[in-house]
Amino acid sequence: MQLSKFIQRVPSSATIEMAQKARDLKAQGKDVISLTLGEPDFDTPEHIKEAARLAMEAGDTKYTPVPGSLALRKAIVDKFKRDNDLDFSVDQIVVSCGAKQTIANIALCVLNEGDEVILPAPFWVSYEGIADMCGAKSIILKSTIETDFKILPKDLSAVLNEKSKLLIFSSPCNPSGSRFSKSELEALAEVIQEYPNLIVVSDEIYEYINFTEERHFSIGSIDSIKDRVVTVNGMSKGFAMTGWRIGYMGAPLWLAKACTKLQGQFTSGACSIAQAASAHALNSSPEETIKMRDSFLKRRNLMLELLGEIDGLKLNVPDGAFYIFPDVSAYFGKSYEGKTITCPNDLVMYLLENAYVATVGGESFGDDNGLRISYAASEESLREAAKRIKEALDKLK
């Protein structure tokens, strides 16, 4: 049987493959510490679960409107106003089965074959996969640890042209943990405003895991470009609700309508019960989210301390999310037992086989020098993982 050209263009997700390899080793009895997945290790707060139970009991178990229940869309409108200074009406909000579907919806609605998608690197893996799926061309805009993995306005200006259709980035960023400040986003907006056909997808799913004193800033609140910015967010990270599968966007009306049409043929509305719980979560006090953020901050500091003791790792200080992304290029060319490390993926395999610690190579994120380590794990696991990583890296000569 011949698979469609469409599915042949779709790459499989590198982070999910790596997590599977780690699970296979675990099944063979190896004590693998997996620091691969982008998932808070906390359980969903109890009051949110209770809202789901109440929704079920109240019979909130039917199809919702395709773009989401009115209650959730109203909660999202309020959230955008309260936290982001963004003004949307309910018909500009579309709720989907995770922010991943939100981003795929947007791409499928605006991209034609050959369009260019600008991806500041390192980027979240799925952006490239989704662009590939649409037959678009990814333009990877590299950054380095020296600029804290943030592109500069001149970098953006150098790649934009009339074929540039989408600019997609996350801030705080998966995998680097970097976040753009208000002034940095304002400087980028000055370049963007020169390209009226460019649509900006601002993925703010790590908004609430912000370790800085500066309030999160949404590029969509900048007047000169706000009509072309789609603000994406979701419940997975800030509320520890990965399995509930709720993501959403605030978008120009024409795009919200198109995404609703597409979703109407694919999945219809997201799960009614998860939507009710999400509306409750967004309308509630952020106490639990702040507690989780504080725990991530403690772990970030722990990882900076422990990994900071390893000479060959170059580190930036992640300002948000729950990843650390060391530059590991100092190990390229070094060997152990006849195996030479030439790239981050080699180091990933080396650490998996010799330290039983699973990480993800920077190649998946468009970066040839980095290694993503998720610290959404217990302090005990993180200490043990860092010790094993150090021992294994010390063996490379």
Ligand X SMILES: Cc1ncc(COP(=O)(O)O)c(C=O)c1O
For binding to ligand X (CB under 6 A), which residues are involved? Answer: 38, 98-100, 124, 170, 174, 203, 205, 234, 236, 242, 247
Quick check: bond before 172 cis, omega within 30? yes
Which lies closer to ligand X via its Cβ, residue 136 or residue 396? 136
The DSSP secondary structure of 292-307, one letter per residue, reads HHHHHHHHHHHHHHHH
Nearer to ligand X (CB atom), residue 175 or residue 344: 175
Q: Taking the complex as a whole, how short is the minimal distance between the CB of residue 79 and ligand X, in angstroms?
A: 15
Expressed in percent and rounded to 5, the helix, strand and coil fractions of the chain are 45, 15, 40
Neighbours of 353 (CB within 10 A): 12
By beta carbon distance, the residue nearest ligand X is 98
Q: By C-beta, is 38 or 129 nearer to ligand X?
A: 38
CB nearer ligand X, residue 168 or residue 341: 168
Q: How far is the CB of 132 from ligand X (least distance, A)?
A: 17
Closest contact distance (angstroms) between CB of 202 and ligand X is 11
Between CA 314 and CA 319, with CA 317 as vertex, the angle to 5 degrees is 150
Task: Tell which residue, 234, 225, 233, has the closest CA to residue 197.
Answer: 225
Task: Output the six-digit token pair for 302.
Answer: 């722990």
Least Cβ distance, residue 131 to ligand X (angstroms): 14
Task: Tokens 């990480």: give the residue.
Answer: 359
Nearer to ligand X, 105 or 354 (CB): 105
Q: How far is the CB of 394 from ligand X (least distance, A)?
A: 31
Q: Is 254 exposed, middle or buried (0-12, 13-18, 19+ CB in 10 A)?
A: exposed
**Measured from the CB of residue 309, what is the shortest distance to ligand X in angstroms?**
28
- Crossing angle of the two packed helices 46-57 and 272-283, in degrees rounded to 10: 130
CB closer to ligand X, 104 vs 189: 104
